Amino acid sequence: MKDVKKVRRQVRQEQNNKRSLIVHNDPKAIGSEAFRTLRTNLQFTSPDHELKTILITSVGPGDGKSTVSANLAVAWAQSGSRTILVGCDLRKPVVHHIFKTSNAPGLTGHLTGSASLDEVIKPSGIEGLDVIPAGPVPPNPAELLQSKAMANTITQLREQYDIVIFDGAPTIAVTDAAVMASQADGTVLVIRAHQVPKDVALHAKTLLDQANARLLGVVLNGVRPQDQKNYHYYYYYDDRDQAI
């Protein structure tokens, strides 16, 4: 009986992973096109400013920021850009699950000096895309993210890759996202439709503003138009459109 339950869990995990990487597994899907549109919009958001490092954060847990981060990274890699996805949610790591790789030593291993940068960079299995899993949960996530070691890591990644995408922690829950937002060229805020109250979303935006984040826009995740109930839509809004 235990073996049957284990197999069922594995099957569910495989199905979740396939859905998570829709841009890779189902490139003709409407959701895949939405991520490619998001990539294009971000590329042209700031023609006068270099955009090499992007933080993806969310209002709270469960908004889908890791799915957005992973699919955006795949979409960027498919465009021919050398891309890396960095797991910066050090409290609830997800990237290693999506890409079926080891979580150790990960980013925390590198930041604490137990592994070199080359040792923590993993192939994603997708051409043009590497990943750095978050690593084991440390006792001091915010301190690690604002350390000199992290600043040096970002500098090295900027030199090695065309685009660096950070899968950050939720904005409301902890200060980690604000720490990362101040170091990234731009930030995208993910909000789950029909679940996040407007005042909470605005509070998240205020926290990012206070951290001197350059908010590029908002992804409204999980929208289900009545005429397309079988699809998740991912919409991108420039901050000038006052999406929140």
| Residue 193 to residue 182: CA distance in whole angstroms | 26
Supply 115's token pair: 């592994």
> What contacts 24+ positions apart, CB below 8 Å, involve 12-20?
13/97, 17/97, 17/98, 17/100, 20/66, 20/67, 20/70, 20/71, 20/98
Q: What is the pLDDT of residue 58?
A: 97
Supply 152's token pair: 């040096």
Q: Class for domain 2-241, per CATH? A: alpha beta
The pTM assigned to this predicted structure is: 0.86
Instruction: Collect all residues with Cβ–Cβ distance below 8 Å to 201 and sequence separation of at least 6.
Output: 59, 189, 191, 244
Omega cis (within 30) before 105? yes
Each of the 244 residues of the chain gets a pLDDT tens digit; together they read 555 444 444 434 444 444 589 999 999 998 899 999 999 999 988 777 889 999 999 999 999 999 999 999 999 999 999 999 999 999 999 999 999 999 999 999 999 999 999 999 999 999 999 999 999 999 999 999 999 999 999 999 999 999 999 999 999 989 999 999 999 999 999 999 989 999 999 999 999 999 999 999 999 998 765 544 444 444 444 433 333 3
